[in-house]
Amino acid sequence: MDIRRHSIHVFPDLAALNAAVTERWRKLAVDAVNDHGEFHVALSGGSTPRHFYEQLAAPEPAKVLPWQATHIYFGDERCVSPDHKDSNFHMASEALLRHVPIPKHQIHRIEAEIPEPAIGASRYEQQLAASLPRDNRNGKYFDLIMLGLGPDGHIASLFPDSAILAEHSKLVAAVHVDKIQAWRISLTFLAIGLARHVIILVAGENKSDIIAKVLGNRPHSETFPVEMIPSSVTPEWYLDALAAELLVDTR
């Protein structure tokens, strides 16, 4: 992956990392609202972003963020009910969405609980088509897509060796992830390529090896999904020192 164009930010601990990403989110939100009156952002799931979402909802930053003009989407969702402990929507609601004044119709949830994941994906594709802004240069776009990173290099639910990696005609697809024996619904690389900004938020020692491979010089034969992000996007990496610890050794 050509990381010369990527911006990489490393912070000593989670508090500093989450404060920095909160400030970056604030700037992107204000810029988007000044530019076109709204801020359209897709949230990442998993465990890493929870504390960041809680920081966004804290009184200090929350009162200066343009929640009334913010549209929330999801980068992916597990095929469980929205109140299930594994649901990304549930995590984001508990940490952020229930605590800030975003109009309910501006929270665009993936209906991943329905029996047919492919239908849930198709419905989300229709939601994106109806809700995302369009410019006369590149068509529809997200102002920001938040991503996490798995130890295997997956982003959203774009796992290694999964069929969805080859999906380039749809913005959203359902995928059965053999590795975890579970169905997911996820944005595809086509959708990620619509982002004006992408933040990849990574923390913890268990991510140091994959970070050393994709951002450092640690040799690896496979191409990880995070390395397949379209070149139209310039990811901004936000790492804590633990995730970056091997990066220093291999640079």
Question: Under 8 Å CB-to-CB from 28, ≥6 apart: which residues?
Answer: 39, 41, 143, 144, 197
Q: Which residue has 């929205």 as its token pair?
A: 82
> Least distance from C-beta 206 to ligand 6PG, angstroms?
7
Q: Where are the alpha helices (DSSP H) in the chain?
A: 14-36, 49-56, 59-62, 88-95, 117-131, 189-192, 208-215, 241-250
- Residues 5-44 contacting ligand 6PG, CB under 6 A: 44
Phi, psi of 132 (to 5 degrees): -70, 145
Question: Under 8 Å CB-to-CB from 10, ≥6 apart: which residues?
Answer: 239, 240, 241, 244, 247
User: Could you say whether residue 153 binds ligand 6PG (CB under 6 A)?
Assistant: no
User: Could you say whether residue 88 binds ligand 6PG (CB under 6 A)?
Assistant: yes
Task: Return the residue of 55, 73, 75, 121 that touches ligand 6PG, per CB under 6 A.
Answer: 75
User: Could you say whether residue 155 binds ligand 6PG (CB under 6 A)?
Assistant: yes
By CB atoms closer than 10 A (0-12, 13-18, 19+), residue 188 is buried
Q: Which residue has 């796992």 as its token pair?
A: 159
State the DSSP code for 184. Answer: E
> Least distance from C-beta 232 to ligand 6PG, angstroms?
20
> Least distance from C-beta 221 to ligand 6PG, angstroms?
22
State the DSSP code for 46. Answer: S
Structural tokens at position 11: 């912070």
Task: Return the residue of 10, 41, 121, 156 that touches ligand 6PG, per CB under 6 A.
Answer: 156
Task: Return the residue of 73, 121, 132, 150 that touches ligand 6PG, per CB under 6 A.
Answer: 150
- Residues 217-246 contacting ligand 6PG, CB under 6 A: none
> Least distance from C-beta 31 to ligand 6PG, angstroms?
25
Torsion of CA 9, 143, 187, 230, to 10 degrees: -60
> Least distance from C-beta 154 to ligand 6PG, angstroms?
6
Shorter beta-carbon distance to ligand 6PG: residue 114 or 180: 180
> Least distance from C-beta 35 to ligand 6PG, angstroms?
27
User: Could you say whether residue 148 binds ligand 6PG (CB under 6 A)?
Assistant: yes
Task: Return the residue of 8, 14, 46, 140 that touches ligand 6PG, per CB under 6 A.
Answer: 46
List residues near ligand 6PG by CB under 6 A: 44-48, 75-76, 88, 148-150, 154-156
